[in-house]
Chain A
Amino acid sequence: MIESQRHSYHLVDPSPWPISGSLGALATTVGGVMYMHPFQGGARLLSLGLIFLLYTMFVWWRDVLRESTLEGHHTKVVQLGPRYGSILFIVSEVMFFFAFFWASSHSSLAPAVEIGGIWPPKGIGVLDPWEIPFLNTPILPSSGAAVTWAHHAILAGKEKRAVYALVATVLLALVFTGFQGMEYYQAPFTISDSIYGSTFFLATGFHGFHVIIGTLFLIICGIRQYLGHLTKEHHVGFEAAAWYWHFVDVVWLFLFVSIYWWGGI
Chain B
Amino acid sequence: MATAIVRSALSRSSIRLTPRTSFAPPKRNMSSSAGHDDAYEAAKWEKITYLGAASCTALAVWILSKGHHHGEDPPAYPYMHIRNKEFPWGPDGLFEVKHNEGH
Residues of A that sit less than 8 Å from B by CB: 6-8, 35-36, 42-43, 75-77, 79-80, 83, 114-115, 121-125, 128, 130-132, 134-135, 138-139, 141-142, 145-146, 148-149, 151-153, 155-156, 158, 161, 165, 168, 172, 175, 184-185, 187-195
Contacts and interface: CB of A to CB of B under 8 A. Distances in A.
Closest 9 CB pairs of A and B: A142-B52, A149-B45, A156-B38, A152-B42, A123-B74, A155-B38, A152-B41, A77-B23, A146-B49
A172 B79 CA distance: 37
21 contacts: A6-B8, A6-B15, A7-B14, A42-B88, A77-B23, A83-B25, A122-B77, A132-B63, A142-B53, A145-B52, A146-B49, A148-B48, A152-B41, A165-B42, A165-B46, A190-B93, A192-B82, A192-B93, A194-B80, A194-B82, A195-B79
Interface residues of B, number: 45
B93 A80 contact: no
B68 interface: yes
A238 to B, nearest CB: 13
B12 interface: yes
A139 B56 CA distance: 6
A158 B55 contact: no
A149 B71 contact: no
Contacts of A148: 45, 48
B81 A149 contact: no
Contacts, number: 132
A156 B40 CA distance: 9
B83 interface: yes
Contact of B95 (A36, A75, A185): A185
Nearest to A4: B8
B103 interface: no
